[in-house]
Amino acid sequence: MFLTKDEERMLNGEEGYAIKKSMEILTALGDIFGAERLIEVESVQVAGVSYHNLGDAGLEFLNELAKDGKVKVLTTLNPAGMDLENWQNLGIDPEFAKKQNMVIEAFNKMGIIVSCTCTPYLIGNLPRYGEHVAWSESSAVTFANSVIGAKTNREGGPSALAAAFIGKTPFYGLHLEENRAPDIHVELKAKLTKFSDWGALGYCVGNQAQNKIPYITGVTNTSIDELKTFCASMVTFGSKPLFYMKDITPASEKYKTPKEKIIVKDNDIKKAYASINDETEYIDFVCIGCPHASIKEIAQIANLLNGRKISSNTEFWVATSRAAKQLSDKRGYTQIIENAGVKFACDTCMAVAPLKGRFRTVATTSAKGCYYSRHNKMLTKMGSLEECINAGVSGKWS
């Protein structure tokens, strides 16, 4: 890969350890993927924040970088393993909290905004159309590429950090226009009637398209919240973090409809639910907010919970960014939600919090949430917000 004089100097260690290490990571990646050079990025989003996933080796790696590493561009963080302010309320072990705080301290020292959310685009890290960024959370990467029309590969934690320290990323993959053309037509013939149907659609499209870029037709109306859950699901069950939706996503008019075609019918959506859902009647955990709940979703939760109480056998979390929670506090939604016995889980989520062994079953609106909960050995139920709230109130799935 071609390096400028400045980049050569950085690689030779003339700007310190973190910069040298970062250049090593970026040049290795560039060489593997055949990048000709590095390009500037406007923002970075770093995943790999939970101590649950990092362990002591990860913490040590971050501490080394934090000694002299400072980010050069706007950099935000993915969810951590706990609510940074209210972890006791979520039943987090104090030893885990101590280590998680050390991880956050390292990121903070690097100049990263401790936003701890997978929806950075809702709280101010919002790229422009066509802008190059280096993001790592898969649902956010898919949202940035598809819904916003920015350009990013799906970075790993270390390569995102390296991009933040250098302000650049190797010019390959989805940064190149020629790699962004759709190659499979997905015609939606199913009727989507509830929010979780978008997760089911993501399951169908991801599973069938796999490494191809879908061009979806037949969608006449959708919302940002539906698109964000679709993004999370499609990339979880498939692999390419980019799709086009005719007349909905910004770059869709640039391309012709691909010849290869799949059709998603009502029966496919039904089969997706059958595959995502397990057999269980009882629910001991409900989690809404995967990806992190927007203020609009929080308002809907407050509206549906108003005056009701969650079963004493059920733990119920609303996972969201701290910024969205602060808006919720101001609008009075927090009080309504907490009065019902529901807990806010800011800065964290059902996949990265240390939940293994704590709950047997989970109800959620999110297909991605179900996928990761199965890794945590839980039985899963995906349904509408109303169905999840009813499950929280009765402790049963009906």
Residues that bind ligand F3S (CB under 6 A): 78-79, 118, 137, 139, 232, 290-292, 319, 349, 351-352, 368-369, 372
Question: Are 111 and 206 contacting, i.e. CB atoms less than 8 angstroms apart?
Answer: no
The smaller minimum CB distance to ligand F3S, of residues 230 and 333, is found at 230
Instruction: List the one residue out of 143, 397, 385, 394 whose CA is nearest residue 287.
Output: 385
The smaller minimum CB distance to ligand F3S, of residues 7 and 197, is found at 197
Q: How many helices (H) and strands (E) does the chain have?
A: 14, 14
Q: How far is the CB of 91 from ligand F3S (least distance, A)?
A: 18
Question: Are 324 and 120 contacting, i.e. CB atoms less than 8 angstroms apart?
Answer: no
Tokens of 46: 């770093």
The smaller minimum CB distance to ligand F3S, of residues 62 and 232, is found at 232
Q: How far is the CB of 372 from ligand F3S (least distance, A)?
A: 5
Rg (CA), the chain: 21
The smaller minimum CB distance to ligand F3S, of residues 30 and 48, is found at 48
CB-CB neighbours of 179 under 10 Å: 13
- C-alpha span between 255 and 107 (Å, rounded): 40
- C-alpha span between 47 and 28 (Å, rounded): 20
b/e burial code for range 255-281 (CB count within 10 A of at least 16 → b): eeebeeebebeeebbeebbeebbbebe
Q: How far is the CB of 118 from ligand F3S (least distance, A)?
A: 3
The smaller minimum CB distance to ligand F3S, of residues 18 and 362, is found at 362
The smaller minimum CB distance to ligand F3S, of residues 190 and 227, is found at 227
